[in-house]
Structure 1
Amino acid sequence: MKKLTLLEIAKAVGGELSNKEFENNTIDSITTDTRKIKKGDLFIPLKGDNFDGHNFIDKAFESGAYCSLSSEKIESEKPIIYVSDTRKALRDLAEYYLSLFDIPVVGITGSVGKTTTKDMIASVLTQKYNVLKTEGNFNNEIGLPLTVFNVTEDTEVVVLEMGMNSFGEIHNLSKIARPDIAVITNVGVSHIENLGSREGILKAKCEIFDYMKKDGTAVLNIDNDMLSTLEGKTEFKVLWYGVENKKDIYADNIVKNGIESISCDIHTASESFNVCIPIPGEHMVLNAISSTLVGKLLGLTTNEIKRGIEEFVPTKMRMAVTKTEKGTTIINDVYNANPVSMKSGIDVLSGASGETVCVLGDMFELGDYAEKMHYEVGEYASQKNIDKIICIGTISKAMYKGALDNGGNAFYFETQDEFIEKGIENLIKEGDTVLVKASRGLHFEKTVDKIQEVK
């Protein structure tokens, strides 16, 4: 991180420094977690439903922090910058810090696929640039600012994932990032419980444009029924990508190579090329063509783009294929789940050789649509002729019913522990290919670990 003076920080966050004698002193690292404090850090205490970081300011100083923000009066000889809202101050400071660098910013959001798309775009851009990208789940109003603070003088491009649960969140993230390129992968049903409708989700995702640079470019999926409604209605430049619809860039001649990879031809305005994507699933083709479009916008050659796609390594627990000692193939896709990604995972599984087994858990934040959406996933798995459909969790009872009603060989367990205790050894056999997928909060990596342990 570039060094900032305390006066500079106070001005950026609209705060007041406790003692002017500290104005010219500097910090070069920022944290919100006292467990990660390093000597000389700026500590930003945040408040949540069940915690208040202000209770740990003394501990932060004891651990080596040099300065702290605070929205409460503190008796301390250490430098304190007083603000009205530490969470907003974190965002304001990140916005100021990123403005110090004249480098391209790529912002990415969407109901499905934003993390994989972010990682593939970064893989492509890394062929030419020194890229900083969002790591893990640092895609919210806390994680994105902390990512921004990792920008250095050596950073040439920033790739930022933007997640949200409700209106206004992506607006705030866009204000920090001010993207040159804004990518929306799709608009589905994730978070519909909070946003009310798919139209509401579209509105929330489009907040990414609120602070896009005036000469910026939106990169949108023309195949998505909601995003396509924006065609011809925007005041900014839009480039469209798709498979079903041939617009600015598209792909065809798609060849599935089992659960190992998928190949396609990508067509830009000026040329075409073939690429082998090292992760299975037709949805990966959309990721590849959006990454190609971003690469072209930032001046990469076709060879650089092709190499970036073919060298792509996904985030842990996203379509990760491994084989156990028993000879069982596991498709570990437990990072998260929604109806679209569930069906994409089932599509991949259906192309596997041998017996196919899906172990599926609840999908969260679907509100009044939950029962219907779970039923449809079970129905879909049956239609794809998955040999064993294992449904786990309270809401997944509807998934189990959807599978049974459509002739599926389905099994139901109330909890993950029940399946581990009673189901794994009986239902998963040598040579099976097993897809494991559920919402992040269920931590289905526990099931993956247990399947790997079976002798």
Structure 2
Amino acid sequence: MTTPRLTVAQLAHVMGGALPRGGGDAAVAGLQNDSRRLQAGEVFVAITTAAADGHDYAAHAQAAGAVAAVVTRVPDGVPGLPLVLVDDTRQALLRFAAWRVRGWSGRIVGITGSSGKSTTKEFTAELLAARYRVFRSPGNFNNTLGIPMALFDLRPEHEVAVLEMGMSSSGEIAALCAAAPPDVAVVTNVGSVHLEYFPSREALAAAKGEIVAGMKPDGVFVYNADDPPVRRLAASAGRPAVSFGQAEGADVRLVRWAVAADGRTEGTLRWRDRNIPVSLPMLGGHYLLNFAAAAAVALNLGLEPEAVAAAAAAIRPFTMRGELHELPGGVRLVDDAYNSNPEAMRSVLETLARWPHRPPTLIVAGEMRELGPESAALHREVGAQVARTGCRLLIGVQGQAEQMVAAAAAAGQAARFVPDAAAALAEVRRELAPGMLLLVKGSRGVGLDRLVRALRAGDSVEGRQP
């Protein structure tokens, strides 16, 4: 079954807009707010931010093959381009999302949290695919712009939609839930990320909690029993709830976990009186908790424990999330460069401490962003923990990572600070030796993914001494 053809005129009606130039018969192939990524046949949505006005890029979008543009005013330099004139392009996108969901009969799983959202989304989609036809929001399409654009690809045959719901201010998750109310709402944790945008952790927790208020009336709340702010959300939710975590009494409980000799993270989940073995091709105890959240969703939606275990065994590594690679000279690389925050950093360091017969270790840690006034102290805490891992060298990269390096050095750890990923790559090439373990982790803006790509492209460390 395919989605009926959507025309520009129908899109204008759904968005509450007008077509001052006509041209409504063209078919719409998708929605895009970035003119550089727009494909022929898509509609360009002009978004205004503090940094740029999307209307200034409408001509570029037309040249790239846009069939129309959603705008709040007539842009310059776009003769002949059909325009969908609306009062607010962001609200127009949310109206489209609400319309798309209203015309669909499946169930929505909404996932939010300070960290682990993307990985939990991927795990959840993989598990549910064992029984259902699953739609998942792609990449980081997780906000009031990304989710509506992603939902363009929602099809009638999809039975479950797994949506990552991110935010940087109060009201954003409420707006997403108004457009796409979850049948199952998941909060992975409330940590330090995004404190830059909130006056307190309590305010941050309240913003995450909008997903509970925004659920469907018969919705189920899946929550982290190890996280006090999330437990408080559950206690006040007044909704059916399923918990996950290591805490005694968690419905889906991680009862054991360890690191295998090859770096895989392994554990056992217990649900009711059943054990579910899990072995993940990635390094980090926090990934097991993300998987436990996904398992709680899957079990609630009717999967049997055996199906969860079978799906777990088939999971492939997710890009830049604890990925394990072999480099020349027997070097093991752990690529965890997708993002970083204090909670995940502490977890991966604890995981390193559990790795039996761990090789000599070099850690490249980028600064952790969006932490607000607590940033320096949180970086110092991580630096002190690095010193307790017994690694060979810590290389801190950019900005507040200098605080991490200072704290590690004060505790006796060999540590160096470098200003950017290029300088970090030079240090790694100088220090990496055969048989070593290299962990790379940092916020995406630091660009440590470029360091990983350079090393995987063939940089050799053969001949150096460990």
TM range (shorter): over 0.9
Give the match for residue 238 of structure 1.
241
Q: What residue in structure 2 maps to residue 137 of structure 1? A: 140
Contact 1:360 1:438 in 2 (8 A): yes
CA distance 1:56–1:262, change in 2 (3 Å) = closer
Cα distance in 2 for residues equivalent to 1:441 and 1:36: 20
Q: Look up the match of 2:292.
A: 289
For 1:394 and 1:39, how far apart are their aligned partners in 2?
40
Q: CA deviation at 1:254?
A: 2.5
How far apart, CA to CA, are the structure 2 residues paired with 1:237 and 1:136?
A: 30
Partners in 2 of 1:212 and 1:278 — Cα distance?
A: 33
* 1:272 aligned residue: 275
Q: Distance in 2 between matches of 1:40 and 1:405?
A: 58
Which one-letter code corresponds to 2:416 in the other structure?
Answer: F
- Paired amino acid for 1:446: R
Q: Give 1:219-230 correspondences, 5 Å limit.
A: 219-230=222-233
Q: Which amino acid aligns with 1:49?
A: A
SS at match of 1:107: strand
Give 1:54 deviation, angstroms: 1.9
1:101 matched residue in structure 2 = 104
Question: How far apart are the structure 2 equivalents of 1:55 and 1:435?
Answer: 42
**Match in the other structure for 1:427:** 431
Equivalent in the alignment of 2:172: 169
User: Given the alignment of the two structures, is residue 30 of structure 1 paired with residue 35 of structure 2, yes or no?
Assistant: no
Contact 2:221 2:234 in 1 (8 A): no
Q: Name the counterpart of 1:65.
A: 66
CA distance in 1 between partners of 2:188 and 2:367 (Å):
23
Change (3 A) 1:40 1:283: closer
Q: Is the 8 A contact 1:278 1:310 kept in 2?
A: no
Q: Provide the C-alpha distance between the structure 2 equivalents of 1:231 and 1:55, rounded to a whole number of angstroms.
A: 45
Q: CA RMSD in A?
A: 2.2
* Inter-partner Cα distance in structure 1 for 2:316 and 2:169: 30
Q: Which amino acid aligns with 1:269?
A: R
Superposed, which structure 2 residues align to 1:352-371 within 5 Å?
353-371=358-376
Q: Distance in 1 between matches of 2:45 and 2:109?
A: 26
Three-state SS of the structure 1 residue aligned to 2:105 is coil
1:449 CA drift (Å): 3.2
User: How far did residue 2 of structure 1 move?
Assistant: 4.1
**Shift in alpha-carbon separation, 1:314–1:178, aligned structure 2, 3 A:** farther
Do the aligned partners of 1:116 and 1:314 also contact (CA within 8 Å) in 2?
Answer: no
Is this contact kept in 1: 2:110–2:184, CA < 8 A? yes
1:383 aligns with one of 373, 380, 388: 388
Name the stretch that deviates more: 280-289 or 122-131: 280-289
Shift of residue 37 of structure 1?
Answer: 4.1
Match of 1:187 in 2: 190
CA contact (8 A) 1:349 1:433 kept: no
Q: Distance in 2 between matches of 1:199 and 1:258?
A: 40
Q: 1:366 to 1:63 in 2, by over 3 A?
A: closer
Pick which of 296-305 and 186-195 moved more.
296-305
Say which is worse superposed, 409-418 or 330-339, in terms of deviation. Answer: 409-418
The answer to whether structure 1 residue 4 and structure 2 residue 6 are counterparts is yes
Which residue is equivalent to 1:454? 460
Query: Which of these residues, 440, 446, 454, is aligned with residue 436 of structure 1?
Result: 440
Once the two structures are TM-superposed, the CA of residue 38 in structure 1 deviates from its matched residue by 4.3
Deviation string, structure 1 residues 116-139 (Cα, Å, up to 9, x no partner): 111111110111122111222211
TM-score, with length taken from structure 2:
0.91
Instruction: Give per-residue Cα distances to partners, 1:296-329, cap 9 Å, x unaligned.
Output: 2222222221122222224311111111112211
8 Å contact from structure 1 (residues 45, 68) kept in 2: yes
Aligned length: 453
One of 325, 336, 355 as aligned partner of 1:333? 336
Q: Which moved more, 1:45-54 or 1:149-158?
A: 45-54
The percentage of aligned residue pairs carrying the same residue is 30
TM-score (norm 1): 0.93
Hey, what does 2:114 align to over in structure 1? 111
- Per-residue deviation, residues 164-185 of structure 1 (Å, max 9, x unmatched): 2222222222222211111110
Name the counterpart of 1:260: 263
1:393-442 CA deviation, whole Å, 9 max, x = no partner? 23112111211222222223233333333x22332211110111111101
Task: State the alpha-carbon separation in 1 of the partners of residues 226 and 65 from structure 2.
Answer: 52
In the aligned structure 1, how far is the partner of 2:79 from the partner of 2:430?
A: 62
Q: Which residue, 312, 316, 321 being the options, matches 2:319?
A: 316
Sort the Cα spacing of 1:60 and 1:448 in 2 relative to 1 into closer, same or farther, 3 A.
Answer: closer
1:26-62 C-alpha deviation (Å, 9 max, x unpaired): 5343222334444543322222233322233344344
Amino acid at match of 1:17: L
Q: 1:63, 1:414 → 2: CA distance?
A: 37
Unmatched 5+ stretches in structure 1? none
